[in-house]
Amino acid sequence: MSNNSILSVAAIQQACNADKAESLATTERLVRSAATDGADLVILQELHATLYFCQTEDTSVFELAEPIPGPTTDRLSALAKELGIVLVGSVFERRMNGVYHNTAVVFEKDGSIAGIYRKMHIPDDPGFYEKFYFTPGDAVFNDGRSGFTPIQTSVGRLGVLVCWDQWYPEAARLMALAGAEILIYPTAIGWDVTDDPDEQARQLEAWVTVQRGHAVANNLPVVAPNRVGIEPDPSGQTDGIRFWGNSFICGPQGEFLARADDAAEEILMVRLERSRTEAVRRIWPYLRDRRIDAYGDIVKRVRD
């Protein structure tokens, strides 16, 4: 990170709308508010410009996809430049005919694109039919970089991942080993509204716990903005998804620094101490003690 000892980070939790212009207007209003309050880094949730369209498989939805650069990135770029912030946004990316990605885009303070991350792990579950829409990100780029490569910015090296990636310790570890200073998980996750309260509680706590575990295991702060609101199933076959919010920011020992509720739009703002990771790694030296000579089987689908 830069020489400043404190980094002000904001995570935006918002409800989304079928009208892309209206959703982006909400995003812009919340980003402006965060910047006014002193945020250096503002992080938006997954697919914040639209409703979560993966509840069904519908080829007409591909009309929502945009190239990079494109209208949404142009708007976010101008916003980052005007406010002088580093901004992490989300785009349904049209890379070429038949190849679409769920892509996080990082904008520098001058509005330039510092880097992109294309979601690597793609779910295919009831209500989350993402494999129909998204091609997984490249495991290795043309220049030899891993898909799990932090994005260098003026506020530090950002380990940007997306939603379903948050369940995989391998992704967090590879970002940490590549020098990430913060793990960032833009998210769109919620409940089947017909699930009973006990099942809803188990799912939510699992989601929170696994990400706090990544913070602990890698001695890194974690930022996880999620959406809120009930979004109907376009097919009418289910009662839709209630996105559970609970966006949070935790420190490198998994300690909560800020956490939102399950219903309201909210801006989480924290001041991260840049030296904390180094201090924690001196007393919990996990990276020193890793037995890399014994982990060969981790790259196998299953162990024989």
The model's confidence at residue 140, banded by pLDDT at 50, 70 and 90, is confident
Rounded Cα distance, 72 and 209, in Å: 33
Of the pLDDT bands very low, low, confident and very high (cuts 50, 70, 90), residue 44 is very high
Task: Specify whether the CB–CB gap between 286 and 262 falls below 8 A.
Answer: no
- Give the count of domains, the chain: 1
Residue 3 has pLDDT above 80, yes or no: no
Residue 14: pLDDT band with limits 50, 70, 90 = very high
Classify residue 301: in a domain, yes or no: no
Q: Is residue 1 part of a domain?
A: no
Domain that holds residue 113: 6-291
The active-site residue, picked from 16, 66, 109, 119, is 119
Q: Report the C-alpha gap between 125 and 54 in whole angstroms.
A: 10
Find the Cα–Cα–Cα–Cα dihedral 279, 282, 283, 284, rounded to 10°. Answer: 100
Residue 50 has pLDDT above 90, yes or no: yes
Of 130, 163, 181, 266, the active-site residue reads 163
CATH number at residue 173: 3.60.110.10
303 part of a folded domain? no
pLDDT band at 1, cuts 50/70/90?
A: very low
- The average pLDDT across 3-13 equals 91
163 tagged catalytic: yes
**What is the enclosing helix (H) or strand (E) of 177?**
helix 169-177
In a domain, 80, yes or no: yes
Residue type, 136: P
pLDDT for residue 47 is more than 80 = yes
Reported pTM:
0.96
- Give pLDDT tens digits for 261-279: 999 999 999 999 999 999 9
119 classed as catalytic: yes
Whether 17 maps to a domain, the answer reads yes
The reply to whether 302 falls in a domain is no
Is 20 a residue of the active site? no
Computed over every residue of the chain, the mean pLDDT equals: 96
Give me the mean pLDDT over the 183-212 stretch.
Answer: 96
Q: Is residue 296 part of a domain?
A: no
Tell me which of 16, 46, 54, 130 is the catalytic residue: 46
pLDDT at 196 over 80: yes
Cis peptide before 234 (omega within 30 of 0): no
Q: Is the residue at 304 inside a domain?
A: no
Checking if the pLDDT of 12 tops 70, the result is yes
Residues 6 or more apart whose Cβ sits within 8 Å of residue 132: 54, 57, 124
Whether the pLDDT of residue 253 is over 70: the answer is: yes
